[in-house]
Chain A
Amino acid sequence: MVTKEIIKLLSERLNISQREARDLLELQIKAITKHLQRRHNVIMRNFGTVGVKNIPARRAYIPSEKRLCEIPAHQKLFFRAASKLKDLVKSWRPS
């Protein structure tokens, strides 16, 4: 499923035009990204949490460099599924 299909389904279910549906979706995404930029963890009920976590510096062997390098400390996005989503998805199998 891609963005276009989401917008189409949203417009059908809310009885609004696809342009409006797209705007509503984009507003939500913009709001989430704005808070992620401010280093907030966004908790979405019954869906999960999107947030930022700190990754400390570590040493690792870089195959392209062919030597041990120090990877500097950085931040990373994470997604933690809510327990309801986990249960919903649990029995899924690839077709």
Chain B
Amino acid sequence: MAPQSDPSIQETAADWLSRMVSGTASVEDQQGLDNWLAADPRHQGAYLRAQAMWTLLDAGAAEPAFGQGAQVVSLEAHRSARFANPVSRRLLLGGSAALAASLAAALWLPGRLSTERQSLAVSGRDARSFALSDGSRAILDVGARVEVAMRSHERRLELLTGVSWFQVAKDKSRPFIVEAGGSQVIAVGTEFSVSREGGTRIIVTEGIVKILPRGASTPIFLRHNDSAFIATDGRVNLTRLSDEEIRRQLAWREGSIGFNGETLKQAAEKMNDFNDLQIVIDDPDLAETQIVGWFSRRDAEGFAQASATMAGMHVERRGKELHLKRR
């Protein structure tokens, strides 16, 4: 079974392991392995070592979350790293004779290994739309950060902060996976938004997506107008939204904001996040007035005027502040 004339214990162990994981191992193989293992504790250790290696490699199956600011390592990226690394190259290629041939081989990388990476972020005050290399589109709200890794067998994104909406180009062979807070949203061709607000909220605007909440082993399927909130402890809360509510929740994509019963205080705080001109509510009773309506996030004055009209107030401008006062 060992191809080399004088294989080391470790090489023999590797041969045994490749036999045992082949799916074609026979009872005789198992017996042969048992005999070999029983012969010497070093055989047992070498076989365990090979098993440890084989098992460790399973970590390659699931690309984990991208760390904040951490350098992202991909199979593709390491092609160049390896060439800059004479020690392991020499080690892996086993001598200069093999070097030339292997260099030639390494320069041709199969497409399935390549990973295209993109970092998306919006730092200004307006949401922004990004075209992804697969034809999908992502709209990120202010403060959102998304890491994109396009691989041949999957499209994997991670929402690090904020909220983002995705319009997924259809590609059955490459699932589109968004990770947020340890949970996964898996789509083929559909539209949905993911936001991180304490937990993770997913809203589906078209088609069906599969979600795998953090720590869960069974997926949940969401249809359009379904919303799931995954708390930090992994608990999931499902709700069905009206078209109107969906439009309101995703109004940020057009730079709009929709209020539906929020108090004036809450609404003003949201508006103030987007504007230099700050809305100040002088009267605590007025602060609890409920607000309904659509506004441009950047139109503090329009918001103040409309709120004042609804609640019977008037607006007084003082420098960078808009004071809402009782008439």
**Genuine A/B complex:** no
